[in-house]
Amino acid sequence: MKFISWNVNGLRAVAGKGFAEIFEALDADFFCLQETKLSEGQLDLEFLGYQSYWNYADKKGYSGTAVYSRHTPLSVDYGIGVDEHDHEGRVVTLEMPDFYLVNVYVPNSQDGLRRLDYRMQWEDAFRAYVSGLAARKGVVICGDMNVAHEEIDLKNPATNHFNAGFSDEERAKMSELLAAGFRDSWRDAHPLEAKYSWWSYRMAARERNVGWRIDYFLVSEGLAPRIAGTDIHNEIFGSDHCPVELVLSD
């Protein structure tokens, strides 16, 4: 069973850059998107054999998540059940027979860490949400989690120590999430490899591979033995992020 996650940074823009061809080539059972930047009815983009589920932000042109699935879920939930956190279209959860798939776009702490306090509250609420799911069955969490967890996860850790995505506070929240019973699937498989999933549009960062790994597949402990493959598709363009992949055995 193959999962793909991609922050497309505006699906309408990526749709004009070969998204349909990339979607078909990756041939996933579940294709999860973040930062769709859509309102309902703005884009009709469906694929044969897939159902799609969309969570739109109240604010137009902002945030948003979606999941394309080949498999019919038992149920679908939008958000995490906390009103103050559920107006930005950040979470879609599909309940499958033996696991939950949680597609998430974690809030950015923004320049000067001006949204860090909100981010900390969101992290605690999200951790409580996925921990509750994990008490029932396995959980796969994927998406742009807006944090490079360890120094190996970005090119220039020293100069980014106090920047959004690499603050001590954000990294500690990721540690708390992992400690709550989740595994970083790609890092477990590649403990010493520096490979990135996001590059700034500034200063030719992608051409120079000055990047960050902020897109993840986390799996609950019980699903870890089923991990059959992981990948970061840095050969795929169209966004400032690239797709990441998880394969689970049946």
In one-letter notation, the amino acid at residue 21 is E
Active-site hit among 77, 100, 144, 196: 144
The string over 67-98, giving b where at least 16 C-beta atoms fall within 10 Å of a residue's C-beta and e elsewhere, is bbbeeebeebbbbbeeeebbebbbbbbbbbee
Among this protein's residues, is 144 annotated catalytic? yes
Active-site hit among 53, 68, 100, 105: 105
Cα–Cα distance between 104 and 89 in angstroms, integer? 9
Phi, psi of 15 (to 5 degrees): -60, -25
Among this protein's residues, is 216 annotated catalytic? no
In one-letter notation, the amino acid at residue 103 is N
CA distances from 162 to 178, 191, 218 (A): 22, 24, 25
User: Which residues are known catalytic residues?
Assistant: 105, 144
